[in-house]
Amino acid sequence: MPTANLQVSASAGDAHEKADGTGFASTFTELFLDSNSAAASRYNGGLRFASVAIPFGARIDSATLEWYVKDNKTDSFDVDVYGQAVDNASDFATDADVTSRTPLTTATVGYSAVDVAVGWATVGDAKAIVSELVSRAGWASGNAIVLIVKGRTGTNRAGNVRSYDYSGNTFGPKLTVVWTAAKTLSGSVGPAGAVVKRTRRSVAGSVGPAGTAVRLTRRVLTGALTPVGAIVRKPQRTLAGTVTPVGDIPPRRLFRTLTGTVTPAGTKQVRLSRRLTATLTPVGNLVLGALGQIFGARACATQTVSPTALAIQVIEERQMATMTLAQTGRARQTLEACA
């Protein structure tokens, strides 16, 4: 499995600051990570890992955080580690702040230990934190991660770890991430702004512009996923036939049952009986009374409604059919076209 061996790589890549917002320092040779009930005696630390070559949506198998305990006097810790929940965290020169950096990840790792031996100490597995960060819609491989180490309030402990400034990459905090790439999507989903959720496997269909987020693909989607702003969730079945996002289905094409989702908001779902064809049109209309219209027709029956209303063209058996799929609105159709 791919492994990203990350380490604080610049003087401005780590810092500490008291919980009351004073005492910021990013050029010390050590980081103070103290727990204390008093904010003025409690220290928080920040660790920045740059150029994190992990792709969006990767599964994080482990993320081991380690730091080098500096001495055997200030070698006790009681802290919680968070991630800064941003897409690309800035360093501590650009943003000279540790305590107030927000938002923080929901995921956290606790570390409580006393009299830790001088040397490398394993803080814990931060995979939940890293996973949360690389799953952000704006995450891109090569971005930077900042971990915030916050001293707890229930104990009084002093902990020192080596910073980058002590000896560069020799003793700077390390984060080793083992990850697995997300499964390939056979296409992306939908136009800008559209979000498709809970899809775990391949998505077959057209793929929209930048800004689209695809998460947790669970099922095969066949057919086009479309209109702008639409959210397509859990398509259950294969769409047989041609389902275009916008536009028409040519005549003589609908010889089979067409089942599937065709569109957006505002349109009522209607099931038409067999041997019927219909034209569904513009926005926001309801399909009403179609069957009654048909039963009363001997030959070709046509019902036309104004552009702002629904137009249903009903054609009796053995007649040619034309079907237009709505540009917006949603309709689920069972259709059988005429030969």
Partner 1 sequence: MALTVTRLTSPTAADLDGLAAFGQALAAAHPNWSCDPDAGVAPDRDMLDRLAAAMTLVVARDGPDIAGFAAVRDDGTIKWLVVDPGRLAAALGILQAVRTRSGEAKGKVRAGAVRDALVAQGCTAAGERLTFR
Interacting residues toward partner 1 by CB under 8 A: 32, 34-36, 38, 41, 43, 70-74, 76, 156-158, 160
Phi first, then psi, for residue 191 (nearest 5°) are -65, 175
What are the C-alpha distances in Å from 300 to residues 255, 313, 322?
Answer: 18, 9, 12
Our CB check for partner 1 shows the closer of 70 and 101 to be 70
Say if strands 119-125 and 195-196 run parallel, antiparallel, or are unpaired: unpaired
Map tokens 């769409």 to a residue.
239
Our CB check for partner 1 shows the closer of 74 and 313 to be 74
Our CB check for partner 1 shows the closer of 156 and 222 to be 156
Which residue, among 46, 47, 34, has the nearest Cα to 76 in the 3D structure?
34
Question: Least separation, in Å, of the C-beta of 60 and partner 1?
Answer: 34
Our CB check for partner 1 shows the closer of 27 and 180 to be 27
Describe the chain by its helix, strand, coil percentages, rounded to 5.
10, 30, 65
Question: Least separation, in Å, of the C-beta of 10 and partner 1?
Answer: 23
- The three-class DSSP label of residue 40 is helix
Our CB check for partner 1 shows the closer of 73 and 268 to be 73
Phi first, then psi, for residue 114 (nearest 5°) are -120, 150
What is the maximum span of the chain, computed from C-alpha positions, in angstroms?
Answer: 97
| Contact status, residue 72 vs residue 199, Cβ threshold 8 Å | no
What are the C-alpha distances in Å from 31 to residues 12, 16, 39?
Answer: 12, 6, 17
Question: Least separation, in Å, of the C-beta of 169 and partner 1?
Answer: 20
Question: Least separation, in Å, of the C-beta of 36 and partner 1?
Answer: 5
Rg (CA), the chain: 30
Question: Least separation, in Å, of the C-beta of 215 and partner 1?
Answer: 44
Report how far residue 321's alpha carbon sits from residue 313's, in angstroms, rounded to the nearest whole number: 8
Question: Least separation, in Å, of the C-beta of 17 and partner 1?
Answer: 13
What are the C-alpha distances in Å from 248 to residues 94, 221, 264?
Answer: 54, 21, 16
Question: Least separation, in Å, of the C-beta of 122 and partner 1?
Answer: 22
Our CB check for partner 1 shows the closer of 70 and 127 to be 70
Question: Least separation, in Å, of the C-beta of 24 and partner 1?
Answer: 14
Q: 192: buried, middle or exposed (CB in 10 Å: 19+, 13-18, 0-12)?
A: exposed
Our CB check for partner 1 shows the closer of 15 and 52 to be 15
Our CB check for partner 1 shows the closer of 94 and 115 to be 115
